[in-house]
Amino acid sequence: MELNELAISRLFPMRVMNQTNATQICEAFLAQIEGRDDKIKAFLHRVDADEVLEAAAAVDKHAAASSELVPLEGMPVALKDNLCTIGMPTTCSSKILKDYVPPYNATVVDRLADQKAIVAGKVNMDEFAFGSSTESSAYQVTANPWDLSRVPGGSSGGSAAAVAADMAAFALGSDTGGSIRQPASFCGVVGLKPTYGLVSRYGLVAFASSLDQIGPITKNVIDCAAVLEIIAGKDPADSTSVDREIPSYTGKLNGKIEGLKVAVVKELMGHGFQKEINFALDNAVLLFEQLGAQIEYISLPHLEYALPAYYIIGPAEASSNLARFDGVRYGHRTADADDMLEMYMKTRAEGFGAEAKRRIMLGTYALSAGYYEAYYGQALKIRTLIIQDFEKAFADHDILLSPTCPTTAFKQGEKLEDPLQMYLSDICTIPANLAGIPAISVPCGVASGLPVGLQIMGKHFDEVTLLNAAFAFERAFGWNLKPMFRDPSAKEK
């Protein structure tokens, strides 16, 4: 296998034993980006190859003089384009932030830099993270490496596609309603949404501040745990980050889950789901049982209201957060305006895409006088009931299982004209964001040549149990399939 096809957990021991180095690793990933990204279109901004190799050479020089190496040192990372980076554009895939270069780094970017991880570039996303397919980007449509005619999921579609296509050793995404887990499922990789408050959001361009979390997308669970160890922890710059000791997540991975109390959520399976998805879930449950876990099927009655509650709370917070993009301080400004009000209106009309405008209008309406309590207030009450459902479930169980998505990756353009169908893609992932609990997607099968993801949800700040359960399942399941880069359009020609 080529170096870029290996997980960090394989590359790191090779570096320790001097079987390879950061320069060779980066060369392999750069060659893959050069050879694949013209069709995948994951990267919006690539770091110049000479800069990447210069950084890799510096890592090798440091390694030669040091007695200790760390796992992420010299590993190329792809960053979702809503994470602020000094000297590199951060556009959120929106015209309103075209060519915007922040004067500071997101905290997670600085933490990766401290470990000498090497940024390969910024990757595509749905505009301001509004979407489930990466088709609302103002710049390009990213393809799924398994089938180039299908979407990679969203909004972190570029992050998942880059990892699945072996163009990055790992990636960071953000998850507001499933934006890490859903593309991880569609692309056959691992994606984790940490507990709300575990990872600093400083430098993440906000979508919905009470829901957003930054998390890793990786090739396996060990890599996911290794990245989380670095990016987790209290940050004085983020008042919502929680001050608690960060354990060695990798050190806790023993794969022993005998006696683990596992619940399968009835509301997140069955009717309306692709037949093969239900089949894959049944197989996953059977495997957990064979590993010694205790299985029970439970009901979380208020989950049926999660989707409508989310699509009031999310747009409401988004309309408030996006008010700052007005053409005055940074980003796009219209060239044709006679007064300040016209400048605001034309700037936002020109800068925002259709989905961003839809969510701004929905959110502004939900927060408007006379409607606030009827919509936003009621949605917050539903959110409380959902949180209470999870609390009851976790009083008797260690983890909860469901499919990550009701379907496999759909075709590009298939749901663009039907926003409701697009929103339904997140029906399994949204509840974890509303409750603030951690959740991970791991590959659990294939349907018609496309990956299927298993979602595992855990208790607040119990990523140790969550990751170990995912690790045990991954090891027993033996996922080793790679994307086929099918191109139906090539056959048509």
Longest CA pairwise span in the chain (Å): 71
* C-alpha distance from residue 128 to each of 92, 133, 347, 435 (Å): 5, 13, 16, 22
Contact, 16 vs 70, CB < 8 A? no
DSSP state of 85: -
Burial of residue 286 (CB within 10 Å: 0-12, 13-18, 19+) is: exposed
Which two three-digit tokens encode residue 251?
A: 């050190």
Which two three-digit tokens encode residue 243?
A: 């001050």
Nearest to 214 by CA among 168, 179, 189, 249: 179
Tokens 């997540």 label which residue? 249
Measured CA to CA, the distance from residue 373 to residue 204 in angstroms comes to: 29
Measured CA to CA, the distance from residue 383 to residue 368 in angstroms comes to: 20
Dihedral sign from CA coordinates of 100, 103, 108, 113 = positive
Catalytic residues: 80, 155, 179
DSSP state of 434: H
Nearest to 96 by CA among 322, 422, 376: 322
Which two three-digit tokens encode residue 264?
A: 């399968």
DSSP-assigned states of every residue in 300-314: -GGGGGHHHHHHHHH
Instruction: Sort strands 294-298 and 261-265 into parallel, antiparallel or unpaired.
Output: parallel
Run of H or E including 358: helix 354-367
Alpha helices by DSSP H, listed for 209-291, are 221-231, 275-290
Which two three-digit tokens encode residue 437?
A: 């609990």
CB neighbours of 235 closer than 8 A, spacing ≥ 6?
A: 107, 200, 202, 241
Nearest to 94 by CA among 41, 144, 130: 130
Q: Is 432 helix (H, G, I), strand (E, B) or coil?
A: helix
